Structure 1
Amino acid sequence: MPRDGSADAPALDPQQLWLGSDQPRKGRKPAYSREAITAAAVALADAEGLEAVTMRKVAAQVGAGVMSLYSYAPDKETLLNLMVDHVTGELPTAYALTGDWRADLKTTARLQRAHMLRHPWLPAALTTRRVPGPNTLAFLERVLTALRPAGLDGAAKLEVFAQLTAFVAGHVAHETAQAALTQSPDRAAAEARYLAVVAADGKHPELAEALATPGRPLTPDATFARFLNRLIDGLDTG
């Protein structure tokens, strides 16, 4: 019997997952669809976090028995792939391109950030290898088109896309954690006091100098823009 995250589950077959039918081949007409089950899993993750997504909870969401779900998603790995591609369908695949590939990559990153903030579980879901589904491939195609003026070869363009996505995912994960910290002012104040003591102990002169530097705007948008500019403007196309 399949289990959530089972180590001995059959290897995921991308062709069967993305190019095959989304309905069980045998038996009577199914009462559910893979789309509905995936949407229920996404809603659960949006509301309670990725750790809350289990086959049992998803089954309860759609009013199905756990065993019936295995016909659509035999394990949690498959379900996560379905979830990632499902929400990726929200990203535009025809946004305007300027011909300035650096500017267009920054537009791409801003779209990705807004998307991941809507689905805070997504950065964690992207930390392990995912098999790109049709929505992911459509978005990737747009990004590769945006990169055409850069003169990179195909492998390098794929690497840039992976690097950009990893940057946005990591930044959003940090941004989400920082937002949670602001809800706990006592903890934030305690961390600030700790850093002030460390900076004054004479053992960390570089840190002391860095902390003494006049601060830059710390709004989430401004911080993301600074980090993104450093990444994109520093890309080497040689």
Structure 2
Amino acid sequence: MSDDRTSAGDPARTLALLWRDEAATPRRGPRRGVDVDTLVEAAVALADEQGLAAVTMRKVAERVGVGVMSLYTYVADRAELLDLMLDTAYAQMPREDTTSQPWQARVTAVAEANRDLYRRHPWAALISTLRPPLGPGQMAKYEHELAAFDDCGLDDVTVDDCLTHLLTFVRACARDSEAARTRDQPDGVSDEQWWAAAGPLLTRVLDMDRYPRAVRIGTAAGTAHGSAHDPEHAYMFGLRRLLDGLAVLIDVDHRVQ
């Protein structure tokens, strides 16, 4: 699991960078031919192409054509760069106007927007945001997503709880989906090939009388989904159940019959 997290740098300097407050982050050294936005764009592209581990200060500097020491005149360290990357990705998310739609549709739109974010930037799901990057992208995202629960009869703390639960679910599904997408790459063995090899071996050692449910239900699920885990099915099933759970909290007058 990645140890990368947002808001791991100096709070005052990171916030100044996120909000592009140049007065609070004076640039050291001679003026360069690139700016912070150029560096962030390069870092995002690098992460999209090669994964989050590829984002190092040296590689970003090479991509924009500056010396690595020059990079430190813009951002103090990789922690600041990660905050800038994620906040930029948030800022670029489409914000669909769903104000006239039922709450289920509004909440689903939030889930789908975040799922699309992780499809475009798989690395974003690997960064812990327990301390969120408090930049303009994060704040615009939060403001927009909270509106999905308008007029649902919930108090403010419960609204935040509901949104957090939704986003945690989508992020977990995104991580599983990315793992499924890349799982064949290291050894070149597909799921079907792996099960074809492992299945007969498991049958030889497994006491079916001792694990009757595991055998029966596991076989049924594997046959239905073509794998031990189908990320698409898991997301759709989970989202429907999540909406069912939220409906318990929401005033009956706002439910869609």
Q: Normalised by the shorter chain, which TM-score bucket?
A: 0.7 to 0.9
**Paired residues of 2:57 and 2:78 also in contact (CA < 8 A):** yes
Residue 74 of structure 1 and its aligned partner are, at CA, apart by 0.8
| 1:227 alignment counterpart | 238
**Paired residues of 1:99 and 1:146 also in contact (CA < 8 A):** no
**What are the equivalent positions in structure 2 for 1:1-238 lying under 5 Å apart?**
11-13=10-12, 14-19=14-19, 20-21=21-22, 24-126=26-128, 129-181=131-183, 184-185=189-190, 186-193=193-200, 200-213=207-220, 216=224, 220-235=231-246, 236-237=248-249
Residue 76 of structure 1 and its aligned partner are, at CA, apart by 1.2
Moved over 6 A (4+): none
After the TM superposition, which of the residue ranges 223-232 and 10-19 deviates more from structure 2?
Answer: 10-19
In structure 2, how many angstroms separate the alpha carbons of the residues matched to 1:197 and 1:106?
45
Closer/same/farther in 2, CA of residues 75 and 27 from structure 1, 3 Å limit: closer
Counterpart AA for 2:235: F
Closer/same/farther in 2, CA of residues 193 and 231 from structure 1, 3 Å limit: farther
Closer/same/farther in 2, CA of residues 166 and 191 from structure 1, 3 Å limit: farther
In structure 2, how many angstroms separate the alpha carbons of the residues matched to 1:223 and 1:78?
34
Counterpart AA for 1:115: L
After the TM superposition, which of the residue ranges 23-32 and 161-170 deviates more from structure 2?
Answer: 23-32
**Paired residues of 1:112 and 1:165 also in contact (CA < 8 A):** yes
In structure 2, how many angstroms separate the alpha carbons of the residues matched to 1:106 and 1:15?
31
SS in 1 for 2:183: helix
In structure 1, how many angstroms separate the alpha carbons of the residues matched to 2:66 and 2:44?
16
After the TM superposition, which of the residue ranges 72-81 and 16-25 deviates more from structure 2?
Answer: 16-25
Give unpaired runs (5+ residues) of structure 2. 251-257
Q: Deviations over 1:4-54 (max 9, x none)?
A: x8xxx8633253233322974454433211110001001111111101111
Q: Deviations over 1:160-187 (max 9, x none)?
A: 2222222111111111212233562233
Give unpaired runs (5+ residues) of structure 1. none
- Which has the bigger relative contact order, CA under 8 A and spacing at least 6? 2
Counterpart AA for 1:114: D
**Paired residues of 1:55 and 1:66 also in contact (CA < 8 A):** yes
| 2:255 alignment counterpart | none
SS in 2 for 1:15: helix
Counterpart AA for 1:210: I
After the TM superposition, which of the residue ranges 13-22 and 111-120 deviates more from structure 2?
Answer: 13-22
SS in 1 for 2:76: coil
Identity %: 32
In structure 2, how many angstroms separate the alpha carbons of the residues matched to 1:94 and 1:28?
42
The CA RMSD over aligned residues, in Å, is: 2.8
In structure 2, how many angstroms separate the alpha carbons of the residues matched to 1:195 and 1:134?
52
In structure 1, how many angstroms separate the alpha carbons of the residues matched to 2:155 and 2:206?
46
Counterpart AA for 1:237: L
**Paired residues of 1:40 and 1:62 also in contact (CA < 8 A):** yes
What is the aligned length? 231
SS in 1 for 2:114: helix
SS in 2 for 1:234: helix
SS in 2 for 1:230: helix
SS in 2 for 1:95: coil
Residue 196 of structure 1 and its aligned partner are, at CA, apart by 5.4
**Paired residues of 1:46 and 1:120 also in contact (CA < 8 A):** yes
**Paired residues of 1:102 and 1:233 also in contact (CA < 8 A):** no
What TM-score results when the alignment is normalised by the length of structure 1? Answer: 0.83
After the TM superposition, which of the residue ranges 86-95 and 163-172 deviates more from structure 2?
Answer: 86-95
Counterpart AA for 1:132: L
